[in-house]
Structure 1
Amino acid sequence: MLSQFRGRSTDSKPLSIGVLGVGNIGMVHLKSALAMPGVEVPAAADAVPGNRDRAERAGVDRTYDDYAALLAAEDLDAAVVALPPFLHAEAVERAAEYGIDVFVEKPLARSTEEADRMLEIAERAGIAVGVDHTLRYQPDMVGVKSAYEDGGVGHVPYASIIRLNDGPLGRPPADTAPPSWPLDPNAVGGGSLLELGVHCFDVLEWLFGELEVRDATMGRTLEIPVEDAATVLLRAPETGTTITVHCGSYQWEELPEVNTRLRLEGITGTITNRDHLPKNFYADAARAALENVASRVGGEPTVFGPTFYLRAHYDALADFCEAVRANEEPPVSGLDGRRSLALAETAYDLAAETIAEELEVPEVRP
C-alpha cells in the first residue's frame, strides 16, 4: 500500500528529532529519545531558561527559547510536541510547513474542531501525526488484552477503569503556586477528563472497539475552574460491554502504587490489570523513587529509566519512530487522539445537561 506520507531516506542515518517543550513530560520524551538506537536529538526548545539548562545537561547540543525558531533552523525528521495544549495546533502547523512529522502529547487538541484543523493541515503537508496515549503500552494492560482475547472469561458484560493522579496543587503541603495554564479552561480545554480520561478512552477502544457515551458527571473537590473528578458511563456496541470510567486528580499525600485500575467482569471469571503487573513492579517502583529522591538532593532526577510507567512512554515514542522510518501511519494516530477527544466532548455535554449534586468520590483502596 502506498503511503500518504512524504518519502524518507532509506540509508542508515539516525532519525533526527527535536523536542518542543522540555518540562516534566518533555524531559521524559527527551531522555527516551536520547536512549534510543538510531535516533539523535540535536535540539530542544522551551521558554523557561531552567528547562533549557536541563536539556543541555541531558546531552542536547542546541536549545531555543522559541519552538518556531527551532523548527525553522534545524533539519529534522520529526518533532515531539510536549507543549501546553493551547500550543499544540500552532506547533503542528509550523512543523507541517517544514514537512516534519509530529508526536503530540495528549490530549491531541483542546477540541475536536481544533483536532480536525490539525489533521487537515497534516494531511495536506503529508506528515504523520502520532499521539502519546501510553496505557496500551503498559505490560499490565497488554496482559489484560491478551487474557481477554484468549477467551478464558467468556463474554464481558461489564468493565471498569479508574485513573488517578496528583491534584493541580501537587502533594501536600502545597507550598508553591502551580502554573496558571493547567487551571485555565481556555488553555487546556478541560480538567481531569482531558488530562486522564482520554487515556482511559483510548485503552478501552483498543480493547472493545469504538465506544458510545451514555452518561457523565463532573465534580470539583477544590474550588478551581476545571473539573478534578469525572465519571463516565460508556457502551461498546461491538462487544455488548457496559463500562464505567472514573478519573480524578486528588490532593493525596501518597498516590497508590498502581494509579490505573482496570477490571473486566467476564461471565466465567474476572481479569484485572493487577494480575498482570511485572513480578518486580513494587521493588522497581520503590528503587526508582529512592533514586529520584537522592538525585533531587544531589543532582538531576533520572526521569527516564526502564521502569514501569516511563517505559511505556519510551515504547510509544519508539513505535512512532519506527512508523516514520517505514513511511507508515503511527500505531496511535491523530485519528485515535481525535476519537478520545470526541468521547470527552460528549461526556462534557451530557454532564452539562444535568444539574448534579456534588460528586461523591468513590473509595479507592491501594
Structure 2
Amino acid sequence: MVRTVLRRWTDSSALTLGVLGVGNIGMVHLKSALSMPEVTVPAAADAVPENRDRAESAGVARTYDDYATLLEHEDDLDAVVVALPPFLHADAVEEAAAHGVDVFVEKPLARSVEEAEEMLETAEEAGIAVGVDHTLRYQPDMAGVKEAYQDGSVGHVPYASITRLNDHPLGKPPADEAPPEWPMDPDAAGGGSLVELGVHCFDVLEWLFGDLEVVDATMGKSLDIPAEDAATVMLRAPETDTTITLHCGTYQWEQLPEVNTRLRLEGVTGTISNKDHMPGNFYAGAATSALTNVVNRFTGGETDVFGPTFYLQAHYDALEDFCEAIREGETPPVDGRDGLRTLELTETAYELAAESESEGDGESEDEAADATLETPEVTT
C-alpha cells in the first residue's frame, strides 16, 4: 500500500534513509546522513562492488547491487537519496513512489523538462515529497551575497555575472583512464556542461533575483566530445530589471581552482562579490577536524564532518533541510518544482543556441552565394 507524507512520526522523530548510488556524490550524501543525529541509514545500493564495499566500511549494515531490490526489501524506509546517473532518476523515483518513499534527488532532477514533469506527476499521485540537491544557495559565500544584496547597501543592481567551472570527466591531461561512459553521453546525462553546472547557477540566480528570462545562449567545445564543455547564457530578471551573464565550463585542467564559482553583483552604489564572503582558510584544518570527529563519535560529541570543505558542508545542509522538512511533514525547501524550473531554463538556452548556430550557418551560405554572384567575369 502506498504511504502518504503524513503517515509517519507516530512514536519517533528518527528518519530512516536509504542511499541509491554510492559513487562519488553518493558517498558524500551517505556520510552526511550517517553523521546526522536523527537519521539512520540501514541500506545502500550500487551496481559497482567497490562502491558497496565503501558503503559497508562507512557503516551501512546492508548493501544491494540494485536499487529496486533495496526498495523491495527495506520496508521501513522513510526516504531515499537518488544519487544515480541522470538516466536512472526517473525510474528510481517511480520505484520509490511505488513504495511510498520520499526522494532527495541529485541534480539535475531529470534529463529533460518532459521527463521531470512525468516524475513530479508520479510523485504527486503517490503522495511522496521530492527534494533536489541544488547546493549553491547553501554555501556561506552565496548566502553572504544574498544578505548583502537584500540589505540594499549597493542599491539597484543593473548587471550581475556568475561563472561556475569544474574539471572535465576525462580528468587532467593526459587522461590515463577512461571515464564512466554516461557523463560523456548527452542522452544519458541530459546534456553537457550546462546540465552539469548551469542548473546550479540558474537555481541560485532565481533565488536571488526571482524569475529569469533566457535572452541568448552559445555552446562551445574545447575537446572533440559529444556534448558542450562550455556554455554562455544571457539572462534577464524582470522583477529587478537586472541583466545577467552566466558562464559554465568543464575544462581539462592540470590543477583545479580553489574556488570554482564566482558571483558578482554590480550595484549603482557598490559591488557585491562572493569572494568577499568566503570563509577564511576553508580548506585548512582538515586533518584536525577529522581527528576530532573520530573522538566525538566515541564520546558522543557533536561531529563536524565537512567543516574544512564548505562544498561538502553545503551538501550536508541541503540534505539536512530535506530530512527536517520530511520529518515535519512539510514541502522540502528546494523541491521538485525548483529542479524542473532549472531544466526549463536549460532547455530554452539549448534551443536559442541551436537557433543562433543555424542562423549563422545560413548567413555564411548566403554570403558565399552573394559573393559568387558579385564576382565579375574575367575575360582574356
Answer whether contact 1:166 1:251 (CA < 8 A) is retained: yes
1:220 alignment partner in structure 2: 221
Counterpart position of 1:318: 320
* Aligned residue in 1 for 2:209: 208
**1:304-340 Cα deviation digits (max 9, x unpaired):** 6222110000000000000000111000000000000
Q: CA deviation digits over 1:59-100, x for unaligned, max 9?
A: 000000000000111020000000000000000000001110
Q: Tell me the residue number matched to 2:274.
A: 273
Identical-pair percentage: 76
Aligned to 1:339: 341
Partners of 1:99 and 1:174 in 2: how far apart?
A: 43
Q: Deviations over 1:83-131 (max 9, x none)?
A: 0000000000000011100000000000010000000000011100000
Q: Distance in 2 between matches of 1:220 and 1:25?
A: 25
SS of the residue corresponding to residue 6 of structure 1 reads helix
Tell me if 1:22 matches 2:22: yes
SS in 1 for 2:284: helix
Q: Match of 2:378?
A: none
**Residue-by-residue CA offset, 1:17-54 (whole Å, 9 max, x unaligned):** 00000000000000000000100000000000000000
Q: What residue is the counterpart of 1:40 in the other structure? A: 40
SS at match of 2:107: coil
Amino acid at match of 1:67: Y
Post-superposition shift, 1:269? 0.2
Quote the offset at 1:12 in angstroms: 2.5
Q: Which residue of 1 aligns with 2:94?
A: 93
Number of equivalenced pairs: 341
Report the Cα distance in structure 2 between the residues aligned to 1:327 and 1:7, rounded to whole angstroms: 9
Show structure 1 runs of 5+ residues with no match.
Answer: 292-303, 358-366
In the other structure, the counterpart of 1:59 is 59
Alpha-carbon distance in 2 for matches of 1:111, 1:186:
10
Render the CA deviation track for 1:258-285: whole Å, top value 9, x for unaligned: 100000000000000000001232535x
Give the partner amino acid of 1:202: D
Q: CA deviation at 1:10?
A: 3.8
Corresponding residue for 2:73? 73
Contact 1:6–1:126 under 8 Å retained in 2? no
User: Which structure 2 segments of 5+ residues have no match?
Assistant: 291-304, 361-380
Q: 1:235 Cα shift?
A: 0.3
Q: Is residue 170 of structure 2 the alignment partner of residue 169 of structure 1?
A: yes
Alpha-carbon contact 1:211-1:235 (below 8 Å) kept? yes
C-alpha RMSD over aligned residues: 1.8
Query: What SS is found at the alignment partner of 2:280?
Result: coil
Q: Which amino acid aligns with 1:257?
A: E
Q: Distance in 1 between matches of 2:70 and 2:281?
A: 41
Tell me if structure 2 keeps the 8 A contact 1:7–1:327.
no
* Cα displacement string for residues 189-241 of structure 1 (whole angstroms, at most 9, x for unaligned residues): 10000000000000000000010000000001110001000000000000000
Match of 1:117 in 2: 118
1:6 touches 1:127 (CA, 8 Å); kept in 2?
no
Distance in 2 (CA, whole Å) between partners of 1:333 and 1:92 is 14
1:4-15 residue pairs with structure 2 within 5 A? Answer: 5-15=5-15
- Preserved CA contact (<8 Å) 1:201 1:343: yes
CA distance in 1, matches of 2:33, 2:159: 38
Check whether the contact 2:13–2:327 (CA below 8 A) recurs between aligned residues: no
